Amino acid sequence: MSKPSANTRTKRTVQTTTLNGQRVRLVTSNGKVTVTQAPVLEWRLQAAQIKALRAMPEYGRQFLLAGGMEAGKRGPRAQVEARATGMTAGHPDLTIFLPGGKVAMIENKNAEGRLRPEQKTRHAELAAIGHTVVVVKAATEAEAAERAVSLVRGWLAAPSTAAV
């Protein structure tokens, strides 16, 4: 049997799965498997924020919210329907309706997430007409929820004449 040459490349594979209730990455390289923590899914960050924001005593009296699913995976027909009904690529995940007609938005990213080009464009467009968009980068659901609650409390405490 011949020895592999020094130039032989080994295939590296990465797979994300659940192990003992935790999301993990299995990385295989050179016959060795390494298990590392996988980043939390962004929809889970948003769900944690929604739950925490709706639990605030101010919810429904001083602010309302709407969550978006613009980033959801869709087939070709569903993509056409989404665009036709106004879903806009890059729109932030959460829209917060504040007193005095103010609107602020939250975009979620996990610890490894980066803004896509359409998100950068959309966020800049929203800022250009006076809306606040904040990117919340979080490693855990609890951290994302805490940041969202803190942002909303700050926005509610801002004087009504100040820009949010």
Same domain assignment for residues 102 and 61: yes
Instruction: Print the domain residue range for 35.
Output: 11-39
Domains contained in the chain, number: 2
Residue 125 lies in a domain: yes
Indicate whether 63 and 20 sit together in one domain. no
Q: Is residue 5 part of a domain?
A: no
Q: Is residue 1 part of a domain?
A: no
Whether residue 34 is found in the same domain as residue 71: no
Within a domain: 20: yes
pLDDT along the chain (164 residues), means of 10: 57 84 82 84 93 98 89 74 79 94 95 93 96 96 98 90 51
| Residues 53, 27 share a domain | no
**Whole-prediction pTM:** 0.79
Q: Are strands 132-138 and 22-29 parallel, antiparallel or unpaired?
A: unpaired
Joined tokens for residue 52: 């925490």
Both 27 and 78 in a single domain?
A: no
- Contacts of residue 56, defined as CB under 8 A and 6 or more positions apart, other chains included, come to 149, 152, 153
Same domain, 131 and 116: yes
Q: Are 94 and 67 in contact (CB under 8 A)?
A: yes
pLDDT of the residue at 76: 82
What integer pLDDT is reported at residue 85 of this predicted model? 76
Q: Are residues 109 and 143 in the same domain?
A: yes
Q: Are residues 35 and 50 in the same domain?
A: no
Domain assignment present for residue 29? The answer is yes
As given in the structure block, the two tokens for residue 125 are 């467009």
Together in a domain, 125 and 52: yes
Q: Would you state the pLDDT for residue 9? A: 63
Whole-number pLDDT of residue 120: 96
Residue 6 lies in a domain: no
Judgement on whether residues 70 and 98 belong to the same structural domain of the protein? yes
For residue 144, is it within any domain? yes
Specify the pLDDT at position 146. Answer: 98
> What is the signed CA dihedral for 53, 59, 62, 64, rounded to 10 degrees?
70
66 and 127 share one domain:
yes
**Predicted local distance difference test score (pLDDT) of residue 161:** 44
Q: Comparing C-alpha atoms, which of 108, 103, 91 is closest to residue 145?
A: 108
Query: What span, in angstroms and rounded, lies between the C-alpha atoms of 130 and 135?
Result: 16
pLDDT at 20: 83
Check if the beta carbon of residue 28 is closer than 8 Å to that of residue 12: yes
